[in-house]
Structure 1
């Protein structure tokens, strides 16, 4: 299973995992997540409704996939009717309700939930300054860890591209790219992908 996943034979990995059953479940679920992401990242296929629904179906087959479903819905660039249709399929509230949920989470001091619901709302760009301020606040503290900041940065990275390219988001976009490059390099060191670390640091510096 590991060799198939590393070789990007994701469909075959899922098929083998289905046959092997429970012992292969963790690897198969990981392959399903990667396959869903693959559906999202093929420009000529996404935002095709077929590939959008396929990505959702693959994630719904995976236990504990709420965050991945949030990423899918946050990334999907359709009209509001299509977005709400996808939200419904993924068991998430409509975009119109997400603004209120984000404001409630912010009042409660829950940064991750605030970012999550703003990304799912009709104004996802509101998530950027909140998330960036949180990450910068964490890394200015001497005892910060990757596990504290990575989930927030990872989630923010799925903001819809057309929102990220807004003129009003230029500064936030640049800061997000810098932080992702820096944290990505540290994550690569942890996972022993040493060969890409210099490029990530060079990217961050530039």
Structure 2
């Protein structure tokens, strides 16, 4: 299954894992997540096709602890409000309008991660950018910061819808997000022993 996943034969990996059952569950769930992510990318080319959107949701719903992955799917999907709300309902998430209210409540309570999450799911996902970026910049200004403390925030921010990210008003935030993701990506590559891509990531960040 590891060879199938590395070779991007995700459908085969899921099929094999399903046959093997519980003993292969972790690898099967990982393959399902990767396959769902693959489906998520298709709307960028075919934005009016809801089949792949629904398939991605169905695949993620087959995995345990899927809450955050479902949030990423809904945050990334580039549809109209009605389509996005349909996807939210399928993924058991609040409506776009309710997410805006939840974001404001989380912000008032000082919960940065929840604020970012609900803003990304709202009608104004770009509001999440300065909040998340300021959090990361402040965190790494201290000498005792860790990669695990900032990676979840940057990972979630990276699922902001593309049409929002390329807005003229988001230029500075977009550049800072790319720089921070490049830097953290290099650190993750070192941790996971993908040394060959580290120089390119550091050069990009520089």
TM-score (norm 1): 0.97
Please name the residue that 2:32 is paired with: 32
Deviation at 1:40, TM superposition (A): 1.1
| Correspondences of 1:75-90 after superposition (within 5 Å) | 75-90=76-91
| Correspondences of 1:76-115 after superposition (within 5 Å) | 76-115=77-116
Distance, in Å, in 2 between the alignment partners of 1:6 and 1:176 is: 28
8 Å CA contact retained: 2:47, 2:79? no
8 Å CA contact retained: 1:84, 1:94? yes
Distance, in Å, in 1 between the alignment partners of 2:122 and 2:105 is: 13
The reply to whether residue 123 of structure 1 matches residue 139 of structure 2 is no
| 1:104-163 superposed Cα distances (whole Å, 9 cap, x missing partner) | 111111111100000000000000000000000111111111110000000000000010
| Correspondences of 1:178-189 after superposition (within 5 Å) | 178-189=179-190
Please name the residue that 1:201 is paired with: 202
Segments of 5+ residues of structure 1 without an aligned counterpart are: none
8 Å CA contact retained: 1:83, 1:95? yes
Distance, in Å, in 2 between the alignment partners of 1:204 and 1:87 is: 35
Please name the residue that 1:48 is paired with: 49
Distance, in Å, in 1 between the alignment partners of 2:131 and 2:46 is: 32
Segments of 5+ residues of structure 2 without an aligned counterpart are: none
The reply to whether residue 72 of structure 1 matches residue 105 of structure 2 is no
8 Å CA contact retained: 2:97, 2:123? yes
Please name the residue that 2:144 is paired with: 143
**Matched residue pairs, number?**
205
Deviation at 1:44, TM superposition (A): 3.1
SS at match of 1:77: coil
| 1:22-56 superposed Cα distances (whole Å, 9 cap, x missing partner) | 01001100000000001112343455200000000
8 Å CA contact retained: 1:47, 1:77? no
Distance, in Å, in 2 between the alignment partners of 1:97 and 1:107 is: 16
Please name the residue that 1:22 is paired with: 22
8 Å CA contact retained: 1:40, 1:55? yes
